[in-house]
């Protein structure tokens, strides 16, 4: 099968979010047509953050989806991801003094309980060991 190469006005690049239409579904993924006219592949592992048993559970023929370009190899083959298209940058709220104090308090409480449990476990282990008898019949001290 000869793949025809036509010059596109705008080619997809790694990191781009692209519109595409599902053209073919295979057991390992789906082939899609990008809005640029290029063809790409969505591997089954890139369809969802959840387990996907069959590609048809997530995609159907002629379905329009937005996907992120994750790789373009030396032959020009385009790998896409629905998972990466859904990702949003993680923005962490600033840590306040109250948050830090609360964490410190929880950590101190955890350590206190943990040390208490370890001490209790050690005392139970030491007291429950039966004394070994010597040849003379006296227990070992």
116 and 65 in a common domain: no
99 and 68 in a common domain: no
Contact 10, 1 (CB under 8 A): no
Cα three-residue angle 16-20-21, rounded to 5 degrees? 170
50 and 111 in a common domain: no
39 and 98 in a common domain: no
Tokens read off for 73: 């190899």
CA neighbor of 13 nearest in space, from 91, 80, 66: 80
The answer to whether position 3 is within a domain reads no
CATH of the domain at 82: 2.40.50.140
**pLDDT greater at residue 111 or residue 9:** 111
Domain of residue 108: give its range.
94-127
Q: Does the model's pTM come out above 0.95?
A: no
68 and 35 in a common domain: yes
77 and 105 in a common domain: no
The answer to whether position 141 is within a domain reads no
The answer to whether position 62 is within a domain reads yes
Q: List pLDDT tens digits, range 32-88.
A: 999 989 999 999 999 998 999 999 999 999 999 999 999 999 998 999 999 888 765
* Alpha carbon 105 to chain centroid, angstroms: 31
d(CA 48, CA 19): 17
The answer to whether position 117 is within a domain reads yes
E strands along the chain, which residues? 17-26, 29-34, 39-43, 64-72, 78-81
- Other beta carbons within 10 Å of 83: 16
- What is the average pLDDT value for the chain, to the nearest integer? 83
């Amino acid at each position: 099968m000869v793949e025809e190469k036509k010059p596109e006005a705008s080619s997809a690049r790694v990191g781009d979010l692209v519109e595409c239409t599902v053209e073919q579904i295979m057991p390992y993924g789906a082939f899609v047509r990008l809005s640029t006219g290029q063809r790409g592949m969505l591997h089954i592992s890139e369809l969802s953050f959840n387990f996907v048993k069959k590609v048809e559970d997530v995609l159907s023929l002629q379905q329009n989806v937005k996907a992120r370009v994750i790789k373009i190899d030396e032959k020009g083959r385009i790998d896409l991801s629905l998972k990466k298209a859904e990702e949003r940058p993680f923005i962490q709220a600033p840590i306040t003094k109250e948050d830090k104090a609360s964490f410190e308090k929880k950590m101190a409480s955890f350590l206190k309980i943990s040390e208490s449990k370890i001490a209790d476990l050690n005392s139970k282990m030491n007291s429950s060991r039966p004394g070994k008898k010597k040849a003379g019949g006296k227990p070992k001290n």
